[in-house]
Amino acid sequence: MTVALPGQLNLDETLSWGSRSVDFFEKIEQIGEGTYGQVYMAREKATGEVVALKKVRMDNEKEGFPITAIREIKILKKLQHENVIKLKEIVTSKGPEKEDQIKPGEANKFKGSIYMVFEYMDHDLTGLSDRPGMRFSVPQIKCYMRQLLTGLHYCHVNQVLHRDIKGSNLLIDNNGNLKLADFGLARSFSSDQNGQPLTNRVITLWYRPPELLMGSTRYTPAVDMWSVGCIFAELLHGKPILPGKNETEQMQKIADLCAFPDETNWPGVSKLPFYKTLKPDRPTKRRVKDVFKSFDRHALELLERMLTLDPECRISAKDALDAEYFWTEPFPCLPSSLPKYEASHEYQTKKKRQQKRQQQEEAAKRQKTMHQAPPPHTRLPPIQQQQHIPALPLRPGPNQQAHNLVQGTQHYGNNMNRGAGGNQGRAPGSGRPPHGGSNLGGGYGPNWVVSGGGGGYGGPVGGYTAPNMGPQAGRGYGAPPSAGGRVSQGVPYGGMGGNRGPSVGGCAQQFGSMNGGVSQQTGYGGQPYMQQPTAQYVDIDGAYANASNSGFPPPSPHRPDYRQQPH
């Protein structure tokens, strides 16, 4: 298989793709159940390499090859990054397999299956979190969050919206590496800006942002950042924060936590199609800092900026990576320093839980005792706040050349240094063009720690510093945060929108001042990312309403019905 160099588009038609049979692999066990098939842990017979096989069943004559699979393959071929799952190959099966339940007499109708072959990951975040007694430390949460944001920043810079960020789509291996997976709902957004509207029936309900719930069909990478905010709070809080049962309840939950949006905190919101329908009768108040008062100041500050109602003012992945949270103690730990766990995928942990529940019920019946309800399930256990995993001293880096820009794809290379140049902000690539003269933002890579002389940018770049070195030893910004340097000057996501400038750019403050007077992040100066839908999109909403009434299964937080026809 031809693989593009890191950061380059994989434009080669890989002749071998699809030419091999699944028989080259031996299935070990099922590790996932997706909308269009199962996911298996498998071993390549010739090499012994363990992989994940995601099956796409082809025997549904009506729908043909699912559009989600086509998108996933197309997009994954383009994306090459250490925080994005690697699609290695496509293999096929021509006839029915053991697990295909073919009705008698229908074997000749069987269209065969296609499998995506992925690198194998030991866990997904939901499965890992659900392990009994699982405790994530703060450095571990920071480590996962930073990898999540790095992968997402890469996607956004390469003009890909993920549109289904949730714990079960964040895969983690036993080296602590986190990768974004399941690009079945993803899409490229560059050509969409002036073209067709996008469906708002994307993103699993609990992680779906208010603009989609309100029916926007012109949206931006900010949709993914809302989901990231939900995951972040979930990791710290110990359970999902907005578990709505349907769209209306989901918006109510958002309003209870973040206040219902209005023209002061989100100009233009009242024109969104479902605004009036979803508007609550009672007044609401933003309560993020009350509800999550146990979070430390920097975590809360970052969360506020992720859960900002107005998508234009919501923090970008790039700016989130630059947030104080990641640059104050305890620092994110090195992925490789994380403990290794027995494999845990959501599918398996759910199954184990079900089995346990059944056993308990049977035992209870046998003993003829009073039925005891199992303890309420929280998807994540409480956080042990001060567990010591070697913290990494981090410091903004001076002269990283981590940029490759080939054919519109930007790659975030081998160094995880913040900022660049003089007393610019700490955001990657602020004002400094990467190789090739583009003014796209800079990048974060896997090696995040910078050593070298203290004080300001321009110091030498080195490898990892000693784990116990304090932050002061390596830090030192060219300008204090208040000097206004931290806001990046680059174009955030390719051709979309204007520069994210230091001016407020019309973003109203949404959450009052934080303790200590942390200033609120500003929005995108200049052109907004998101245009309000106009009458021409009403059809879409009509279609959506009709679709929900005819033939779409009822929405569920885990398996919403949007996958039928994503745009």
Ligand X SMILES: Nc1ncnc2c1ncn2[C@@H]1O[C@H](COP(=O)(O)OP(=O)(O)OP(=O)(O)O)[C@@H](O)[C@H]1O
Binding-site entries:
54
Residues 51-70 that bind ligand X (CB under 6 A): 52, 54
Nearest residue (CB) to ligand X, 35 versus 447: 35
Does 415 sit near ligand X (CB under 6 A)?
A: no
Residues 6+ apart with CB under 8 A from 70: none
What Å distances lie between residue 319 and 90, 313, 425, 428, 502, CA to CA? 36, 12, 10, 8, 12
Which tokens belong to 503?
A: 């001016």
Shortest Å, Cβ 421 to ligand X: 38
DSSP string spanning 493-528? Answer: BTTBS----SS-TTPPP-S-PPTT-PPPP---SSS-
> Is 168 an interacting residue with respect to ligand X (CB under 6 A)?
yes
| 124/224 with CB nearer ligand X | 124
The 10 Å CB-count burial string (b at 16+, else e) for 272-285 is bbbbeebeeeeebe
- Min dist. Cβ of residue 305 to ligand X (A): 27
Rounded Cα–Cα distance for residues 189 and 161 (Å): 7
We find the least distance from the C-beta atom of residue 383 to ligand X, in angstroms, to be: 22
Write out the E strands in 318-477.
Answer: 403-406, 409-412
Say how many residues touch ligand X, by CB under 6 A.
24
Tokens 């096989």, located at residue? 53
Which CB atom, from 71 or from 403, has the smaller least distance to ligand X? 71
Q: Does 85 interact with ligand X (rule: CB under 6 A)?
A: yes
Q: For the window 310-349, what string marks contact with ligand X as x by the rule CB under 6 A?
A: -----------------------------------xxx--
- Shortest distance, position 350 Cβ to ligand X, whole Å: 10
Of 39, 12, 306, 42, nearest in space to 152 by CA = 306
Site for ligand X in 179-218 (CB under 6 A): 181-182, 184
Give the whole-angstrom CA distance, residue 515 versus residue 323.
16
Instruction: Classify residue 464 as exposed, middle or buried by CB count within 10 Å of its CB (0-12, 13-18, 19+).
Output: middle
Residues with a catalytic annotation lie at 164
- Contact between 274 and ligand X by CB under 6 A: the answer reads no
Distance CA 437, CA 182 (A): 33
Three-state SS for 246? coil
- What string marks each residue from 347 to 386 as x (binds ligand X by CB under 6 A) or -? x---------------------------------------
Does position 124 bind ligand X by CB under 6 A? Answer: yes
Q: 462, 456, 447: which is closest to 414 by C-alpha?
A: 447
Residue closer to ligand X by CB (options 35, 401) is: 35
Instruction: Check residue 121 for interaction with ligand X (CB under 6 A).
Output: yes
Instruction: Please give the residues from 22 up to 51 whose contact with ligand X meets the rule CB under 6 A.
Output: 31-32, 34-36, 39
Cβ-contact 74, 5 below 8 angstroms: no
Residues making up the annotated binding site for ATP are 54
- In the complex with ligand X, the residue whose CB is nearer, 179 or 411, is 179
User: Kind and range of the H or E element at 55?
Assistant: strand 50-57
Which 90-119 positions form the footprint of ligand X (CB under 6 A)? 118-119
Q: How far apart are CB 340 and ligand X at their closest, in Å? A: 15
Q: Which residues bind ligand X (CB under 6 A)?
A: 31-32, 34-36, 39, 52, 54, 85, 118-121, 124, 127, 168-169, 171, 181-182, 184, 345-347
